[in-house]
Amino acid sequence: MLEPVVAKGQLTETDRFIFESWGYFVIPNVLSKEEAAEAYDVSQRLHESRDREFGQIGRTYESEPALERLIDHPDVLPKVQGLLGDRFVLQAGWNTMQPAHAGNGGWHQDGSSAFDFKDLGYPVPLIQLRVSYLLTDQTVPGMGNMELIPGSHRSRVPLPDSIRQSKGDIGIGHVICAEAGSALVFHNGVWHRTFRHDGDYDRFTTHYVYSPPWVRAADRFGNDPEFLERTTPLRRALMGEFARPDAPFGANYEPLPI
């Protein structure tokens, strides 16, 4: 089986080649089974107040230490730094629930319907680098896996409407099979969807989106002052709370304190 699996830590030249070619890679064993189970329990509690249907809750890292830790996970952040450079922010964090026995989600690219990233130029630039932590085992298809189309961030043409409208399959769809605790890292331009979930339990995956520092946050209008007060200098900087020496984005500012 072809699998874009890479090791934890620094982005190697091979990791970069895989990312450039496929638009994503998977890092196994980032969270221990216990850490993944703890994050699962937290996610379950957070989603209890919603209807039991597919949905996402933003900025859960502010209130939940088990999810806050993932903002700058030491096995993963070096990959983000390798791909985005020394100055980037956490543009959003979403915790997603897919209920038991749910079907496929819709195919899409990440971005903004207010201003489509593809209108910025070709190839679609890397504006949102997503890290998705799998909190359940997704070792075979049909476990609420993510499905991605390798290399589709470089496609000049969109996924055909016929496939999108019917939520149909495509022969080059790659259903990511990985254990709980793995992290999937992917480019906003890659066409993807949530694959069906045949299990009797709800599936939770928690997502962190990193962007250049001039991109506006998508999960919040402002940061929670109490969270900023008690979190670490690195996480504060990742929340966009860095000091700018003069006009906003007019000049350089200190790199992240990594």
Ligand X SMILES: O=C(O)CCC(=O)C(=O)O
CB within 8 Å of 179: residues ≥ 6 apart: 28, 29, 134, 137, 138, 139
| Minimum distance, C-beta of residue 110 to ligand X, in the bound complex (Å) | 6
Angle at 239 between CA 40 and CA 211, to 5 degrees: 90
Contact residues for ligand X, defined by CB under 6 A: 96, 98, 105, 110, 192, 194, 205
| Minimum distance, C-beta of residue 194 to ligand X, in the bound complex (Å) | 3
Q: Catalogue the E-assigned strands of the chain.
A: 24-27, 55-58, 89-98, 129-134, 146-148, 174-175, 183-187, 192-194, 203-211
Q: In this complex, which beta carbon is closest to ligand X, that of residue 81 or of residue 98? A: 98
| Minimum distance, C-beta of residue 236 to ligand X, in the bound complex (Å) | 26
Number of neighbouring beta carbons within 10 Å of residue 26: 21
CA dihedral 128→83→107→160, nearest 10 degrees, is 110
Q: In this complex, which beta carbon is closest to ligand X, that of residue 91 or of residue 205? A: 205
Residue 57 β-bridge partners: 95
Q: In this complex, which beta carbon is closest to ligand X, that of residue 79 or of residue 192? A: 192
Q: In this complex, which beta carbon is closest to ligand X, that of residue 60 or of residue 98? A: 98
| Minimum distance, C-beta of residue 97 to ligand X, in the bound complex (Å) | 8
| Minimum distance, C-beta of residue 2 to ligand X, in the bound complex (Å) | 21
Q: In this complex, which beta carbon is closest to ligand X, that of residue 7 or of residue 172? A: 172
| Minimum distance, C-beta of residue 253 to ligand X, in the bound complex (Å) | 30
CA dihedral 258→81→117→18, nearest 10 degrees, is -160
Cβ burial, residue 80 (10 Å; 0-12/13-18/19+): buried
Q: In this complex, which beta carbon is closest to ligand X, that of residue 182 or of residue 205? A: 205
